[in-house]
Structure 1
């Protein structure tokens, strides 16, 4: 399900206040860090998300934000990767979840999108729908089970040697 977020909603300011005390530093990724971010995303999430990080990093300024604690990457969030106006993908290290880092990444990414002229953000194929609804009042976009990811190429398992 795709979701829509109004970047001019008062809920965005409320979210900013909720994430003020988060321990992680949230900032725009720098191009020389791209290989580190992609390796981390590959190890913790998926090759598909690595591709989206590549697309987000190709923008100027980069459309990838990182969460850092004591010099260590603990999370990331992208925007304008698969399509303009799209938020995501985003992820946080398993051992850092539940500390507000995901919310902080979400807020800072939405704020960056708004600063770049977006009025709305689309969360494509939103995983944790309730997370986004509760955070900023994200609204479902009606569809007939059709989205931008329809027909996405998938790797097929290779046959075993001798098959």
Structure 2
């Protein structure tokens, strides 16, 4: 479960991907404060419990560090950054029935572009389990050797 490193100054454009999702009535947006309870509840209902805490943390500054995928006014996916430690992407997730449509890719790219626009040159994708190939292919991320458990080593959940 290594962390991965990605160059933010060399990201692919995702305007075509976003347009294709809009044609399916799926929209990616930065979450606003009014979205907080819906996002925190969504994450708590569909993903690991500790991600609920991280989604809550995403609203500790403005604009938030959360992006959401919306269909029919319902959250179907999310991506967070700077909620575990600074300069970290994740966690992120998409409801199972919506996977394979490019939503995860769009959330990843929107989030990484936002990080770049905030002045980051690189980002860490934290605690990557099964998605190593996805991140490598999508944004050229590379595994960081000996990076697990890294900043997670002192989590109460791991002890």
Q: Are 2:61 and 1:59 equivalent residues in the alignment?
A: yes
Q: Are 2:4 and 1:3 equivalent residues in the alignment?
A: yes
Q: Give the match's secondary structure for 1:81.
A: coil
Q: Give the match's secondary structure for 2:150.
A: coil
Q: Give the match's secondary structure for 2:83.
A: coil
CA RMSD of aligned residues (A): 1.7
Aligned to 1:150: 153
1:45-74 CA-partner distances (Å, limit 9, x unpaired): 021001111111112110000000121110
Q: Give the match's secondary structure for 1:66.
A: strand
Q: How many residues are aligned here?
A: 153
Give runs of aligned pairs for residues 8-157 of structure 1, distance below 5 A.
8-9=9-10, 12-14=11-13, 16=14, 19-20=17-18, 21-22=20-21, 23=24, 24-127=26-129, 128-143=131-146, 145-154=148-157
1:85-127 CA-partner distances (Å, limit 9, x unpaired): 1000000011101110000000100011111111111011112
Distance 1:146 1:39 in 2: 27
Where in structure 2 are there 5+ consecutive unaligned residues? none
TM-score normalised by L of structure 1 = 0.88
Inter-CA distance 3–144: structure 2 relative to 1 (3 Å threshold): closer
Poorly superposed stretches of 4+, deviation over 4 Å:
none
Structure with the greater alpha carbon radius of gyration: 1
Where in structure 1 are there 5+ consecutive unaligned residues? 157-163
TM-score normalised by L of structure 2 = 0.90
